[in-house]
Structure 1
Amino acid sequence: MTKLTCLCGMVLALLAAPASATTLSFAAPAPAVQVGDTFTLDVLVADAPDLYAFQFDIAFDPAIVQATTVLEGDFLSAGGRATFFLPGTIDNSAGTVSFTANTLAGPGPGVSGDGLVVHLSFHALAVGQSSLSFGNVVLLDSALMELASTHMGGAISVASVPEPASVVLFGIGLAALTAGARRRGRHTLPNPDRT
């Protein structure tokens, strides 16, 4: 009887286990973002079952980076129907992109799987690291029921523009001196001792 109770308990635990949550995350930008660069950062969705619509906010450090554009990714449109995309509002003083949203048009199933939901473009202002986070996340299925979700923050590291190595500067200086010496050698005055 004890083995049967144990087996029933395990089956009930497996049936009660929640389905995997849909995940939003940031794809890492190019590893060498430098001051002055403009770069794209993608927002990805994973394990989406029947995603029909979404909305979210993004926060960043406005002293390090500034958002420039928000463009629709191809995940929802891969469902073969029209979409209605709202890029949201960029506020570079507060360091936010608010109310980015997208939905499929008309009735029908949502899109399942993994993919790209939004392209964000940023301009790197200063050396440092900007954390990235999601807020006000809502993911809906085709019955307009909220999907269980998790969201993973990220970070953007901005490095200074590398300065030329001192060896390169030394080589440039040496080449300039050599070129100057050659020019002076061509324009020498006649020697009065020669007859």
Structure 2
Amino acid sequence: MAAKLIGLPLALFCTVLAAPGAWAENCQLSVSQSRIDYGAIRRDAFVERASMVLGTRSLHVNVLCTEPAPMALRFIGVAADGQGFMFGRQGRFRLSLKHTQVDGRAIDWAATHLPGEPVSGQLLPGQTLVARAAGLPVVGLRLTARVDIDTELPADALEVRSETRLEGQGSFELVSSAAPPNQ
């Protein structure tokens, strides 16, 4: 994600990549777009507030396997806090998996460090989400999900003297059940 401050312009971009996963021979992960551009933002366009929420942007993640495989995802990026990833020096972005299906069947998510407990589908720093249905891990050939990206900046991030570019980056990774969640 990136942005430019205008008043000075602020260019906001989020770069999202697909990392080669642990199952490269069996499964391929792809994202519908590798870059989200928030465009130029003028600080004078915003009312005085402690923070500024940029509009939600979405992309799609797809996993296609040649043989049935367990489906688990994580996002690798610089943690802003336990709830999101760094966007520029002070902001953060959050990722939420929505409308997720494996082989056309709706699924839920569980975090590997909280087995059995369903989670909202939010990808948190250091967390791996495992696809589940009826409380059990799901094995399948195809996973599809919409990823909603919500970005927030503190108001003082817009106080710049010249055009400034803000970015957040990271990559999605398909995780083998043998890989530890902190890798």
Give your verdict on TM over 0.5: no
Question: Is the strand fraction higher in 1 or 2?
Answer: 2
TM-score (norm 1): 0.41
- Find the structure with the greater CA-based Rg: 1
Normalising by structure 2, we get a TM-score of: 0.43
When you count helix as a share of all residues, which structure comes out higher?
1
